[in-house]
């Protein structure tokens, strides 16, 4: 497949993550997520060296703690590329509750999909009303038109090649706790309409313990318009090929994506790391691509972190690659990509 932008496709599209960006957004961790702050500070210290960084904070206490954390990471919280915005929010997962940026007829627009804290998967005590309003408030503050879409979904379950395709996991958008009675046929038509794509590729399934029900950015990522990297279990990982769980999920996803006409590259999971009471596969695909850089979440394992850095450098030649330890986020089911939200440049 040789993907290219046609006139009919260019009227509405979601730019790929590797295209030029206006900014990266972070929603700074609040009261019950303070433990994420050191990793957020490392992310901020890297991002501001390459592009504009918008940091959303809920209270003056959050901002003060963010400034201290960034200083402790060796960066300047008053860096010319760092912008502070006080917007009420509930959590630190801006990939999921934040805007989906769409370019339509040459104009940047925000889509605000409904957010209900991952279908309530983490418990009814998790607040989300303020998070759900963040995209509209950003649109108001920056005078960007906002379209509210009455479908519950998270941006972490959307991968775009920037041309004609979206890749996602049906198990997430089709979750009855998110969208009861929703069908795959409806989803396919809605996605084509809202994103201007002609190709909707849906994988299905999620590994044991994945409360988000299998966000695609955890195991399958576009690296260019024609190629997708998909995780692969090995003899050294906690998961195993064909294990009826994660290993089988990744293999089936790779087959589905290849059948859709894409070049599939398997990214090997070369180890496992125990942290607190959990054991993680050393899986690095939850990366953020920015203007000249890539940040991937690491596991504090020198061998697998270094091997992943080398692989990612091959996926994104010409970009500086950083692997930062983010075990506290892994423990809660996320990573670098989950916490960030990239805004494309026009």
Identify whether the C-beta of residue 114 lies closer than 8 Å to the C-beta of residue 151: yes
Identify whether the C-beta of residue 177 lies closer than 8 Å to the C-beta of residue 130. Answer: no
Q: Which residues pair with 322 in a beta bridge?
A: 295
pLDDT in tens, the chain (346 residues): 444 444 344 589 999 999 999 999 999 999 899 999 999 999 999 999 999 999 999 999 999 999 999 999 999 999 999 999 999 999 999 999 999 999 999 999 999 999 999 999 999 999 999 999 999 999 999 999 999 999 999 999 999 999 999 999 999 999 999 999 999 999 999 999 999 999 999 999 999 999 999 999 999 999 999 999 999 999 999 999 999 999 999 999 999 999 999 999 999 999 999 999 999 999 999 999 999 999 999 999 999 999 999 999 999 999 999 999 999 999 999 999 999 999 999 8
* Residue tagged 């930062």 (tokens): 324
Whether residue 6 lies inside any domain: the answer is no
- pTM of the complete model beyond 0.85: yes
The CATH number for 264's domain is 3.75.10.10
List of E strands, the chain: 12-13, 21-27, 52-57, 82-86, 100-104, 107-114, 146-152, 159-160, 165-169, 199-203, 220-224, 227-232, 263-268, 272-275, 278-281, 288-290, 293-298, 320-325, 340-344
Helices 37-47 and 60-72 cross at an angle (nearest 10°) of: 70
Characterize the bridge pairing of strands 52-57 and 21-27. Answer: parallel
Whether the CB-CB separation of 22 and 338 falls below 8 Å is answered with no
Q: pLDDT tens-digit profile of 252-282? A: 999 999 999 999 999 999 999 999 999 999 9
Contact 21, 87 (CB under 8 A): no
Residue located via tokens 């494309």: 344
Q: How confident is the model at residue 346, as a pLDDT? A: 87
Pairing label, strands 263-268, 227-232: parallel
> Within 13 Å, how many C-alpha atoms sit on residue 151's CB side?
22
**CA–CA dist 212, 219 (Å, integer):** 13
Residue 1 in domain: no
At 10 the pLDDT is: 52
What are the angstrom distances between the C-alpha of 46 and each of 30, 53, 268, 302, 323? 21, 10, 26, 20, 11
* Domain assignment of residue 3, yes or no: no
| Residue 126 within any structural domain of the chain | yes
Domain assignment present for 5 = no
Please state the domain count of the chain: 1
Examine residue 211 and state whether it is found in any structural domain, yes or no: yes
The pLDDT of residue 9: 44
Range of the domain at 118: 11-344
- Shortest CA distance to 288 belongs to which of 121, 110, 118, 94? 94
d(CA 326, CA 322): 12
Determine, yes or no, domain membership for 2: no
β-sheet with 12-13: strand ranges across: 12-13, 100-104, 107-114, 146-152
118 in any annotated domain:
yes
């Amino acid at each position: 497949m040789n993907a290219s932008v046609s006139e009919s496709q260019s009227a509405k599209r979601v730019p790929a993550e590797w295209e030029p960006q206006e900014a990266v957004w972070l929603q700074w961790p609040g009261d019950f997520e303070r433990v994420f702050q050191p990793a957020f500070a490392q992310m901020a210290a890297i991002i501001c060296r390459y592009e504009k960084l918008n940091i959303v904070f809920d209270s003056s206490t959050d901002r003060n703690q963010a400034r201290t954390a960034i200083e402790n990471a060796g960066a300047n919280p008053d860096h010319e590329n760092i912008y502070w915005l006080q917007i009420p929010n509930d959590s630190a997962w801006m990939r999921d509750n934040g805007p989906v940026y769409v370019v339509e007829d040459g104009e940047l627009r925000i889509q605000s999909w409904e957010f209900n804290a991952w279908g309530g998967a983490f418990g009814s005590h998790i607040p989300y009303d303020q998070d759900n309003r963040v995209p509209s408030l950003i649109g108001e503050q920056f005078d960007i038109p906002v379209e509210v879409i009455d479908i519950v979904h998270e941006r972490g379950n959307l991968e775009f090649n920037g041309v004609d395709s979206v890749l996602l996991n049906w198990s997430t958008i089709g979750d009855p706790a998110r969208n009861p009675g929703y069908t795959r046929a409806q989803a396919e038509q809605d996605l084509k309409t809202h994103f201007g794509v002609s190709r909707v590729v849906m994988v299905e399934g999620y590994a044991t313990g994945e409360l988000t029900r299998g966000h695609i950015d955890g195991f399958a990522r576009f690296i260019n318009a024609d190629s997708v990297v998909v995780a692969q279990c090995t003899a050294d990982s906690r998961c195993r090929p064909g294990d009826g769980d994660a290993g089988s999920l990744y293999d089936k996803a790779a087959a589905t994506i290849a059948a859709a006409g894409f070049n599939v590259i398997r990214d090997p999971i070369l180890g496992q790391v125990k942290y607190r009471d959990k054991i993680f596969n050393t899986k690095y695909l939850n990366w953020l691509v920015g203007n000249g850089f890539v940040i991937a979440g690491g596991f504090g394992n020198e061998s697998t972190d270094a091997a992943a850095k080398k692989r990612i450098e091959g996926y994104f030649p010409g970009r500086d690659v950083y692997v930062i330890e983010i075990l506290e986020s892994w423990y809660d089911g996320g990573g670098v990509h989950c916490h960030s939200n990239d805004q494309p440049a026009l």
